Amino acid sequence: LNPKPSRLSVDMERTFIAVKPDGVQRGLIGEIIKRFETRGFKLVASKFMKASEDFMKTHYLDLKDMPFYAGLCKYMSSGPVFAMVWEGQNIVKLVRMMLGETNPADSKPGSIRGDLCINIGRNIIHGSDTLENAKREVGLWFKAEEFVEWTPCAQPFLYE
C-alpha cells in the first residue's frame, strides 16, 4: 500500500515514530525531530493529530493482556501526538537504540528517554520495535497519499 522506500545502493527501511502526548505537552517535538534529522534519517510523512482510544487499542494490540494496556491507550488518546515515518539504512534498530529503554530509569544519558524523561508511563516517544511491526504501524497511521517523495541533497554523503 505504501510507496516503496527510495532506491539507493543500500537497503532502506522505514519506521514509525510518534511523539506521545506528554512529549507534545512538554514542548519536545522539535528536540525529538532534530535528533532524527541530524542523525541523517529522511522524513517521509508526518502529521499532528489526536488519536482515538480505539485507534490506540489497535496500535498497542500486542499489549492487550498487560495491566497497563487500558491506561496506556487512554493516555495516548488524551491529547495530540506528532506522528512520523522516517527512512534510513537499518533505521528500525537504530531508532530503538536512540530511544533508550522502555523505562527511562534504565535509559543511558545520550538516548532520548535517558535525556528527556523520568517515568515509564510518561516516556514521551514511540518507535516501532521490529521491521514487521514498523510495516504494520506505518500502514495503520498513514495513507499512501500522505507520503512525500523527495531526495535529500545529503544522501551521497550519508551512504556509500
Binding residues vs ligand IDP (CB under 6 A): 63, 68, 72, 102, 120-121, 123, 126, 129
Q: Is 59 a catalytic residue?
A: no
In whole angstroms, the minimum distance from the beta carbon of 151 to ligand IDP comes to 31
Q: Which does 68 bind (CB under 5 to 8 A by kind): Mg ion, ligand IDP, none?
A: ligand IDP
Q: Which is nearer to ligand IDP, 45 or 117 (CB)?
A: 117
**Nearest-CB residue for ligand IDP:** 102
> Is-contact 71 133, C-beta < 8 A?
no
Alpha-carbon distance 46 to 114, whole Å? Answer: 24
Name the burial class of residue 83, with classes exposed (0-12), middle (13-18) and buried (19+) by CB atoms within 10 angstroms of its CB.
Answer: buried
Which residues ranging from 129 to 148 are in contact with Mg ion (CB under 5 A)?
129
E strand residue ranges, the chain: 12-19, 42-49, 81-89, 125-127
Q: Which stretch binds Mg ion (CB under 5 A): 20-28, 34-42, 66-74, 127-135?
A: 127-135
Name the burial class of residue 66, with classes exposed (0-12), middle (13-18) and buried (19+) by CB atoms within 10 angstroms of its CB.
Answer: exposed
- Please tell me which residue in 126, 137, 138, 141 is annotated as part of the active site: 126
Q: Which is nearer to ligand IDP, 6 or 122 (CB)?
A: 122
Q: Which is nearer to ligand IDP, 71 or 139 (CB)?
A: 71
Alpha-carbon distance 77 to 57, whole Å? Answer: 10
Look at the block and give the residue holding cell 510518561: 122
Positions marked catalytic: 126
